Amino acid sequence: MHDTTSRPMRSARPAAPLATAIDSSLAIPGDKSISHRALMFGALAVGETTITGLLQGEDVLRTAAAMRALGADIRQEGAVWTVAGRGIGGLIEPQDVLDMGNSGTAARLLSGILASHPFFSVITGDASLRSRPMRRVSQPLAACGARITTRANGSLPMAIEGAREALPLDYDVPVPSAQVKSAVLLCGLNAAGMTRVFEREATRDHSENMLRHFGAEVTVKEIGHGREILLRGQPELRAADVIVPGDPSSAAFPMVAALLVPGSRVLLRGVGLNPLRTGLFTTLREMGAALTILDGRTEGGEPVGDILVEHTALRAVDVPPERAPSMIDEYPILAVAAASARGITRMRGLKELRAKESDRLAATAAMLTANGVKVDIDGDDLCVYGNGNPPPGGGLVVTHMDHRLAMSGLVLGLSTLDPVTIDDVTFVDTSFPGFTGLMNGLIDGAEALVAA
């Protein structure tokens, strides 16, 4: 990747109107959500856990460093990681502040673990993470007996004096959030008795799946669109090997690139197909996308498959609000697809986007507006007006230190009539290491995706 500290990066393409057809096969980097959890659960288990396919992006490496600081022995040999855990309640007080960089997932899940351990710790992060709301986890976690202090606005740094004898929690999650749900469940691991979480809308269930994989007793009851999750506290988690599937959120970017560039055909190998993560795939199919699942299988308790993607002329759709939890990270790249679709695509119920690495709702709208696409924000809905033709382009994408906006802007630049300028791509490696190099390799014979 080029140095971006002193100059903007450009998504550049060859001759108008579009980039050279993409025809390739690639393995998607490991799922970030599962990678975080594999390291954390391995550290809380008794014995040695082997992890294959761990995402080696900055966010996950921050989690590995934090679990080492809490006493776990974590080693890497090539693509294989091993975690020698300390057992439930066996973590030790860290000697320094735990810096989680840009990762909201790592910070929130880790706070759940720390709240039920009887020692003092402090979590912080970069400027973007320090601006994100943390009361959504600090308030429910305090009920276990922990003393938690944040800045006046509820953001990081967060100081946690863990409970001496943690109490089980009973919590109804007010806004759909797998991070909040997981933080409460992780806290409940070290509390005697049953911890209960109710979510009004089902969110990604990697924590529940992995808890079972490591031997915890977890029961789930479907209630309407929501779910009640019960966890029996203080189990003896047993080391369990984990094969991390390809991240469906990362697969979204080359997938949309292939759909938008005429003549393209891409095979995405080993992608996680958890139904609570595949809302984008459902939506793209409704838009007419040619997506074919090949070799469906189960690995480490998660459904996995290869996805064949072929260029398709897309049509606009109305995306219902109840689908948001299953594709909350994919709305920026869906908006890029909608910009080339025919008709008005309306994405409903996107309030949660305002609390991501940036205000993703406003930033996504700004990205498209700057590149000649008509966009409206109506309350918590995003409307993108497409006419079935390539967007004009020629504008600047302001990423606000948000890796998904940067990647979405780079893919947008493959479909526009004029090049798109990205103000900063240095954050892309937090979730998709080597993204620009991989995409450059897909565009056979074309100009580089990113040029100085």
The secondary structure of 246-283 as a DSSP string is BPHHHHHHHHHHHHHSTT-EEEEEEEE--TTT-HHHHH
Q: Are strands 120-124 and 158-161 parallel, antiparallel or unpaired?
A: antiparallel
> Cis omega before residue 433 (within 30°)?
no
CA 101, CA 115: separation in Å to the nearest integer? 20
CA 122, CA 111: separation in Å to the nearest integer? 9
Contact 402, 427 (CB under 8 A): yes
Residue 135, class by beta-carbon neighbours within 10 Å (0-12 exposed, 13-18 middle, 19+ buried)? middle
* Residue 164 neighbours by CB under 8 Å, 6+ apart: 118, 145
DSSP state of 393: B
CA 292, CA 239: separation in Å to the nearest integer? 35
Out of 31, 329, 424, 429, pick the active-site residue.
329
Nearest to 207 by CA among 352, 49, 54, 41: 41
Q: Extract the tokens encoding 411.
A: 């893919």
* Residue 351 neighbours by CB under 8 Å, 6+ apart: 175, 380
126 is catalytic: no
Q: Are strands 381-387 and 342-347 parallel, antiparallel or unpaired?
A: antiparallel
CA atoms within 13 A on the CB side of 3: 2
The side-by-side arrangement of strands in the sheet containing 218-223 is 170-173, 194-199, 226-232, 218-223
Helix (H/G/I), strand (E/B), else coil: 134: coil
Residue 336 has phi, psi (to 5 degrees) of: -65, -45
Q: H/E element holding 363? A: helix 360-369
Rg of the chain over all Cα atoms, to the nearest angstrom: 21
Positions marked catalytic: 329
